[in-house]
Amino acid sequence: AQTVTQSQPEMSVQEAETVTLSCTYDTSESDYYLFWYKQPPSRQMILVIRQEAYKQQNATENRFSVNFQKAAKSFSLKISDSQLGDAAMYFCAYRSAVRGGSQGNLIFGKGTKLSVKP
């Protein structure tokens, strides 16, 4: 079974600085997707960024980028120019590309709480 591990329960960053959140995963599959979701105090899960495992290029979305190391099974999120609104729980998630059954469902890590200091 696949697992997702976020080893940093809490992180803190100064406003306008850069922070990197870590995520590792375990899988025997070669085709899958990886995601970072943000959960602000409102608790709605918001998609931040996604990565397709068969793409070597790291995904970027404005101030958010990932460092995807497939061989190392690592998927870290870098937030540049941190803003107060970035403060939230961040969840890393894995999804198999296999269709059907429970294999296609999201597997979440336990999250990292990010604080942004003004």
Residues that bind another protein (CB under 8 A): 33, 35, 37, 42-47, 50, 52, 91, 95, 97, 99, 101-102, 104-106, 108-111
Q: Indicate the residue among 30 and 42 with the shorter CB distance to another protein.
A: 42
Q: Measured from the CB of residue 99, what is the shortest distance to another protein in angstroms?
A: 5
Q: How far is the CB of 14 from another protein (least distance, A)?
A: 26
Q: Give me the DSSP letters along 25-74.
A: EE-S-SSEEEEEEEE-TT---EEEEEEETT--SPPEETTEEEEEETTTTE
> Minimum CB separation from another protein for residue 53, in Å?
10
Query: Of the two residues 75 and 82, which places its CB atom closer to another protein in the complex?
Result: 75
Inter-residue long-range contacts of 54-62, CB under 8 Å, 24+ positions, other chains counted: 54/30
Measured from the CB atom, the residue of 50 and 78 that comes closer to another protein is 50
Nearer to another protein, 30 or 118 (CB): 30
- Classified as helix, coil or strand, 84 is helix
Report the relative pairing of strands 64-69 and 74-79 from DSSP bridges.
antiparallel
